A = this chain, B = another copy of it.
Amino acid sequence: MQSKPNIVVSSLDLDRLEALLAATPERGFPGKAALQAELDRADVREPADMPSDVVTMNSTVRFQLQDSGESFEQTLVYPKDADGSGERISILAPVGSALLGLKVGDTIEWPGPGGKPLAVRIVAIVYQPERAGELHR
């Protein structure tokens, strides 16, 4: 079992995510129980006290594919704000829930075409609402 530090979550995101989870059936969201467990043990901070290098809701994250060096950006959003463009990722989508609370420098592996793993590194938080002073976004 991989050991990971607790994720850091803002109190506002926590409140909204708990309301979302309460309204979402398990069959609609693989890993609902796992996200609830992460939130239960998260390091919760006031929005103004969030570290600036952590992925929060509505943050735009720049990733880099380890193999190709290709970089791309995705914004972690609530389901109501998701589209299919690939530039916004819902917290209820596979991988989406993995991003919350990760930090610049963290690497995750997700399955790519043909089921082959893609190693993907977080290289920057391009936009973070809390850092931008948007504490109620």
> How many copies altogether?
2
A135 contacts chain B at the CB level, 8 A cutoff: no
Given contact pairs A33-B68, A70-B30, A113-B35, A92 touches B102 in the complex (Cβ within 8 A) = no
A118 contacts chain B at the CB level, 8 A cutoff: yes
Number of residues from A at the complex interface, CB < 8 A: 59
CB-defined A-B contacts under 8 Å, sample of 22:
A24-B86, A30-B86, A31-B113, A33-B70, A34-B112, A34-B113, A34-B118, A38-B113, A38-B114, A79-B84, A85-B90, A85-B92, A86-B90, A86-B92, A86-B93, A97-B113, A98-B110, A98-B111, A98-B112, A100-B113, A102-B115, A110-B111
